[in-house]
Amino acid sequence: QVQLVESGGGVVQPGRSLRLSCAASGFTFSSNVMYWVRQAPGKGLEWVAVISYDGSNKYSADSVKGRFTISRDNSKNTVYLQMNSLRVEDTAVYYCARDRSGGGYWSYGMDVWGQGTTVTVSS
Partner 1 sequence: QSALTQPASVSGSPGQSITISCTGTSSDVGGYKYVSWYQQYPGKAPKLMIYEVSNRPSGVSNRFSGSKSGNTASLTISGLQAEDEADYYCSSYTSSSTLVIFGGGTKLTVL
Nearer to partner 1, 15 or 26 (CB): 26
Judged by CB under 8 A, does residue 100 bind partner 1?
Answer: yes
Residue range at the interface with partner 1 (CB under 8 A); choices 7-15, 18-26, 43-51, 75-83 = 43-51
Beta strands in the chain (DSSP E): 3-7, 10-12, 18-25, 34-39, 45-51, 58-60, 68-73, 78-83, 92-99, 110-113, 117-121
Q: How many residues does the chain have?
A: 123
Judged by CB under 8 A, does residue 55 bind partner 1?
Answer: no
As measured in angstroms, the least distance from the Cβ of 38 to partner 1 is 10
Tell me which residue of 82, 27, 90, 89 sits closest to 51, measured CA to CA.
82
Number of residues that bind partner 1 (CB under 8 A): 22
Single out the residue of 23, 61, 71, 91 in contact with partner 1 (rule: CB under 8 A).
Answer: 61
From residue 30, give the alpha-carbon distance in Å to each of 7, 12, 58, 92, 101: 20, 31, 15, 27, 12
Single out the residue of 95, 117, 119, 121 in contact with partner 1 (rule: CB under 8 A).
Answer: 95
**Residue 90 in 3-state DSSP?**
helix
Nearer to partner 1, 29 or 35 (CB): 35
Residues binding partner 1 (CB under 8 A):
35, 37, 44-47, 50, 59, 61-62, 95, 97, 100, 107-111, 113-116
